[in-house]
Structure 1
């Protein structure tokens, strides 16, 4: 039986505007929710632990998750509000965001059979939920045969104080086995250094594997013993919404079974990492050829890897 990944974090509704076009109808999303959907499409047992309000955006979120079939543990919300994101799409398909954010789960029940706990994005910095997520990560990391993965997915719109945001990300790096960030995330958090130097700083804080995405230039990964880099496939980009989440789903799927084989997560070898990153950049590239967060299935990803 394949090992379970549990995703803890926000779900939300995106209100999308695209340059030169009318507003797109509201779309349910949120980085953790997108990762859970991506894992589900890859055939990985996954549970999404999240919260939303009993309001119109929440109703759309609930219907979306029910329709996909992702297993959800919905925590009670202290304010009964759902998060709404205002997403602006440029002519090149890139997105910028503003948020009407609420992340206030009153409890986070992580399944006992979790092999990998993943979190990221708003869940790392929006209180009071961020403190509960950090505590959940600490508890899971203490269990034998488990790993904790974090996607920084920096959103300055929810915390414009760079030092406070950096401190939050550093706290999560201390309790994570795997940290993923984009080069843009690291440039904003650590503006006076390179992406590689910033990634090594995250390793020094306790992570055993740091993965950095580079957009159209691919990705690189660091461990204490290895560094690898892979290019991204060349595709016609429709938009980049959800590409990083598709990458993360593929990464978690590749690492999940190995995470449960020992008392503590052991990162892959350099050769294994090259294969893992190739799979991840391919999943992200497929998503870029589609409108919105639409990650590939296992069959679709395998076909692209075979044809590529």
Structure 2
């Protein structure tokens, strides 16, 4: 069984559906969330060993989030518990189930990583399953400071022996788009896999096609570029070989965690194919297409139920 290390935040997602404010009272449902944590949960449920490096709050919302990680089988041997509140996100749903977010991050648990505290992620003896073959990160922990620099340093140290996956997952209501534009090329130089959403693409390089973005990222050293296209499916370019796969049908409830589940499905399938541990040198476009189709099925199940609740392997 492959081990994938996941580094980043775990967030309490307070989901606000349409019409949930009644008589001046907001009726929210709180789910564990945060891009990296969602990815770790989805990986573990699919059967990959997901070693999550998170800074877990010891408060009530932190306990809720930790319980979901543990129940999903996530390896927490490189996580730490800190005496700070959990990060809170308000996920406002529109009539079509799409989510927009506002974040409360000041003084919360997730952003205090240092080079020293992240060192165990690369320890071959850490956790239950030995040395990870790949490392995944992204979303806010990579964009905010001081955690972002520490994670970048970790990726640089890991690159000699691990496949690097990044999902920038832009949150421009908290981190200005200009910050992502200034840093994306540096992230790409450290990465083997980058996945973008349509919104990410538009905010990073307005007017660019997925193919133009892929060409740019390949020039910086990224082997596999994936762009999620919403209802149009997903585009991928493997060193210039391109493929597009359709979405999997689903009864849409909401899109919370859909991208994270998709990325986890992609990583799980590539791990099963033996692609990790280097620069994806032996990955074929056919294997890539199969991984994208599997990822679309994983995301479809997540979209069929509330919050970031990815499927277990048996559900597929």
Same fold (TM over 0.5): yes
What residue in structure 1 maps to residue 54 of structure 2?
Answer: 50
Name the CA distance, whole Å, in 2 between partners of 1:80 and 1:198: 38
CA deviations over 1:213-267 (Å, ceiling 9, x no partner): 1111110101224100011123221101111111111111112252346x53326
Name the CA distance, whole Å, in 1 between partners of 2:92 and 2:291: 31
Q: In 2 relative to 1, CA 24–12 (structure 1 residues): closer, same or farther, beyond 3 Å?
A: same
What residue in structure 1 maps to residue 16 of structure 2?
Answer: 17
User: Cα RMSD (Å) of the superposition?
Assistant: 1.8
Name the CA distance, whole Å, in 2 between partners of 1:91 and 1:212: 24
What displacement does 1:76 show? Answer: 5.9
| Contact 2:163-2:279 at 8 Å conserved across structures | yes
What displacement does 1:165 show? Answer: 1.6
| Contact 1:52-1:83 at 8 Å conserved across structures | no
| Contact 1:126-1:158 at 8 Å conserved across structures | no
What residue in structure 1 maps to residue 112 of structure 2?
Answer: 104
Q: Structure 1 residues 238-247 or 104-113, which shifts more? A: 104-113
Equivalent residue for 1:74, pick from 75, 79, 92 = 79
Name the CA distance, whole Å, in 2 between partners of 1:233 and 1:16: 24
Local SS of the residue matching 1:163: helix
Name the CA distance, whole Å, in 2 between partners of 1:208 and 1:9: 23
What stretches of structure 1 of length at least 5 have no aligned partner? 302-308
Q: Structure 1 residues 94-103 or 51-60, which shifts more? A: 51-60
Instruction: Establish whether residue 276 from structure 1 lines up as the match of residue 281 from structure 2.
Output: no
What stretches of structure 2 of length at least 5 have no aligned partner? 22-26, 125-130
What residue in structure 2 maps to residue 174 of structure 1?
Answer: 189
Q: What is the TM-score when the length of structure 2 is the normalising length?
A: 0.88
Instruction: Establish whether residue 87 from structure 1 lines up as the match of residue 91 from structure 2.
Output: yes
Query: Could you list the runs of 4 or more consecutive aligned residues of structure 1 that deviate by over 6 angstroms after TM superposition?
Result: none
What displacement does 1:21 show? Answer: 2.4
CA deviations over 1:178-226 (Å, ceiling 9, x no partner): 0011111110111132232123212211111001111111101012241
How many aligned residue pairs are there? 295
Name the CA distance, whole Å, in 2 between partners of 1:130 and 1:270: 32
